[in-house]
Amino acid sequence: MDGGLPGVVPGGRGGVPEGGTESGRVRTEPERHGARRESEPGSQGLPEVVSGVVRGVVVEVSGGRIVGVRHGVDAPPPGAVHLRGVTLPGLANAHSHAFHRALRGRTQRERGTFWTWRRQMYEVAARLTPDTYHALARAAYAEMALAGITCVGEFHYVHHQPGGRPYDAPNAMGEALIAAAADAGIRITLLDTCYLRGGFAAPLEGPQLRFGDRDAHAWADRAASLKGAGHARVGAAVHSVRAVPEGEIGVVSGWARERGAPLHFHLSEQVAENEGCLAASGRTPAALLESHGALGPFATAVHATHLTPEDITLLGGSGTGVCMCPTTERDLADGIGPARVLADAGAPLSLGSDSNAVVDLFEEARGVELDERLATRERGHWLAAGLLRGATSGGHAALGWHEAGRIAVGAPADLVTVTLDSVRTAGAPLDALVETVVFAATAADVREVICDGRHIVHEGRHLLTGDVPSALTTAINHLT
């Protein structure tokens, strides 16, 4: 069942002292299987809604946090920042490989497969240094900010120098990513990834040597020395069951459990992975991970494309989240994952841009529904509200920022305003603004972005990095 939205505000009148939003009346819609929920004017927090808006809202911000939410306000208070359009909580990109941004367009020149695409990706990975990685990630994260993303989950596995020798600072590459997110003005969960072999019974070789630590204990020692920051948290990842031997998986999952950190892993993205896992262990990847403590509410399976009914029961019954990345799954011809069935089984949805061939969480959100329509020839698997929640509070929860992704007192002041006067959103009815955002808007319609109370995008321009296209071009040219 799709639950309530974490807060949607239509533009018109209103304002935000130190950052906030606006308009004129409170209106809710009934939930799919639930009762109508209303909120009284002047209450501290937005009503829980499925497909609706709240008008006349002032969001009060102090120290990067929302300290007050008032609605039923006729005009912006003096000194308020007026956000014109539909204002949402900040979006969370739960799965990113920043350096893949350098591949955009280049991997479309031949037919190929996932595995030929991977060879091209390794060529870029081989050229990265801490400085070039920082420059590329800074530009890629700025592109994300322009798309309304205020938090990214970076699935990071390029740890060492070419050949596998550690840098003098063993986490130089991860620290470059944390610094890049700060420079772009967004938050990051660095998902430090354990990657120990090149496949079932295959050693690391060539560019893969940069990914590997001696064993999972060596990975854990290095990862433990990573330091978070106000904008950064550290989580763990098992790259995949093909990249981490069965006996090492429990070390990584235990590391995450002990720290209350998120744990992510690629799961059943390719049929070949399932076949290899069954041949090596007699179990599916999901069953193998479950046997080593890697499933649970702290964990997120990325892709989860080719699952058995038993796998779905394992993921849903354990509360393991699922991160869908439709634009990458299309690009790599992975297949269409059973997102609706997983959600109904108890697996919360989050969304990711993955290879960054496209950076647009609205496209990822509608892709979940539209791809299922193609697979089933039926409409209406997801309400727009449920998809938007996956892009906001669901994504933040998957990245360990449970307090974020909602417009409410105590939450980080993350606000994203989508214009209502583009050719894509013009004429949107007030009773279908959420549907317009999810099924029609694109990243190009984002006009304002506030992260932790700091205005980082204004009128579609990044305020911290300036010319983002130029920064991307320079960074990519250094690597290709």
| Residues with active-site annotation | 303, 354
Structure tokens at 432: 């279908």
Q: What is the DSSP letter of 82?
A: P
How open is the CA angle 453-360-210, to the nearest 5 degrees? 90
Residues 420, 430: contact at Cβ < 8 Å? Answer: no
Burial 229-242 (b: 16+ CB within 10 A, else e): eebbbbbbbbbbbb
* Calpha distance 75→93 (Å, rounded): 33
- DSSP H helices, 166-320, are 172-184, 216-224, 246-259, 271-281, 285-291, 309-318
194 Cα distance to chain centroid: 20
Strand partners, 59: 69
Phi-psi region of 116 (alpha: psi -120 to 50; beta: other; left: phi over 0): alpha
Please name which of 359, 260, 368, 382 lies closest in space to residue 322, comparing C-alpha atoms. 368
Please name which of 439, 341, 453, 398 lies closest in space to residue 62, comparing C-alpha atoms. 453
Pairing of strands 187-194, 461-462: unpaired
Residues 131, 176: contact at Cβ < 8 Å? Answer: yes
Cβ of 214: how many Cβ atoms within 10 Å? Answer: 12
Please name which of 113, 90, 270, 275 lies closest in space to residue 188, comparing C-alpha atoms. 90
Helix (H, G, I), strand (E, B) or coil at 435: helix
* Calpha distance 61→469 (Å, rounded): 31
* Calpha distance 226→156 (Å, rounded): 12
